[in-house]
Amino acid sequence: MSQEPVSSPAAPPQPDGTAARAGGAVQPRRTIALVDDDRNILTTVSIALQTEGFATRLYNDGDTALKALLGNPPDLAVCDIKMPRMDGLELLRRLREESDLPVIFLTSKDDEADEALGLAMGADDYIAKPFSQRLLLARIRAILRRSEIVRRDTVTPDAEPAESLPEPIRRGRLTMDPARHLVTWAGRLVSLTVTEFLILEALALRPGVVRTRDQLMSAAYHDDVFIDDRTIDSHIKRLRRKFRAVDPQFSAIETLYGAGYSYSEE
């Protein structure tokens, strides 16, 4: 099943595929592909995206989606992991052979192994079901903004920035570029998801200050999203694992039992 872009009442499409914005400005409509065998999820997420001015294409299996994503790439794909015919992991593997299309995985709470594998294979982020529509929209916008900046740097590396971008954060061997969501440790790239980046940024902005789990939740998620303590702990474990992959002696993220976490500037 696929669905051509449907216009949002707030942003009627123009003949050239753009959407009118308030004040008469015309902006290209970003296209999001949704891949999930649950028709209810496809429908509700599609409506939410269209309301925010996105165009959507819907697919209910990986095999159909792969041909469409390679033949007519959208700006970003949101994919379920568990699907018939071709699951999300195989879809991502085949995509990465030919494309760097941004991909967000939708996972179940017990899919930790699949989440780790998907991120290692090149997924940009993952969101566990059930999820908040606001959280998904925030992640989509963050990844699209990052992709746009990286694309602009690649095409016109000497061009003046179109907007004032946040300055990089430097803490000892750690460098974080919030505009591009890039992280390096002693000059070596560390690939983080949007969520991991936001948690690390909250810690690195105030070295030595203990951040509670609630504060880290607020930094990484919207206030209306319920996240239990174990989710933050899992993100911290993954952050440490990724940094130790490039530096086995990494110890900059400290645990204060019963209080939270802090960043130790080395």
3-state secondary structure 126-137: EEECCCCHHHHH
Question: Order of strands across the sheet with 103-107?
Answer: 55-59, 31-35, 76-80, 103-107, 125-128
Strand-pairing partners, residue 127, are 106
Domain count, the chain: 2
Neighbours of 257 (CB within 10 A): 5
Q: Which of the 8 DSSP states describes residue 29?
A: P
Higher pLDDT: 52 or 235? It is: 52
Judgement on whether residues 67 and 117 belong to the same structural domain of the protein = yes
* CA gap 12, 14 in Å, rounded: 7
What phi and psi, each to the nearest 5 degrees, are found at residue 114? -65, -35
Whether residues 37 and 138 share a domain: the answer is yes
Q: Where residue 109 falls among pLDDT bands split at 50, 70, 90?
A: low
Q: What are phi and psi of 68, to 5 degrees?
A: -70, -40
Residue 152 pLDDT level (bands cut at 50, 70, 90): low
What integer is the mean pLDDT of 75-91? 91
- Closest Cα partner for 147 from 187, 184, 104, 205? 104
Q: Tell me the three state secondary structure of residue 52.
A: coil
- 103: how many CB neighbours lie within 10 A of its CB? 26
pLDDT at 151 over 70: no
Does residue 103 fall inside a structural domain? Answer: yes
118-122, 129-133, 169-173, 261-265, range with the lowest pLDDT: 118-122
Closest C-alpha to 33, from 13, 56, 8: 56
Neighbours of 188 (CB within 10 A): 12
Q: For residue 142, what are the contacts with CB-CB under 8 A and spacing of at least 6?
A: 181, 194
3-state secondary structure of 80: strand
Any domain includes 114: yes
Pair 115, 40 in one domain: yes
Give the dihedral of Cα atoms 140, 146, 149, 153; nearest 10 deg: -140
Bond into 130 cis (ω within 30): yes
Q: Among 10-24, 29-43, 53-67, 175-189, which stretch is predicted with the lowest mean pLDDT?
A: 10-24
What's the whole-number average pLDDT of the chain? Answer: 80
Are residues 227 and 187 part of one domain? yes
Instruction: Tell me the per-residue pLDDT of 195-253, one tens digit each, with 9 for 90 and over.
Output: 888 899 999 999 999 999 888 888 876 555 555 667 788 889 889 999 999 999 999 99
**What residue has token string 């294409």?**
57
Q: What is the pLDDT of residue 231?
A: 74
CATH code, domain carrying 199: 1.10.10.10
In a domain, 5, yes or no: no
Scanning the structure block, which residue is given the tokens 């209080």?
259
In a domain, 256, yes or no: yes
- Structural domain including 85 reads 18-151
Q: Does residue 185 sit in the same domain as residue 244?
A: yes
Residue type, 197: F
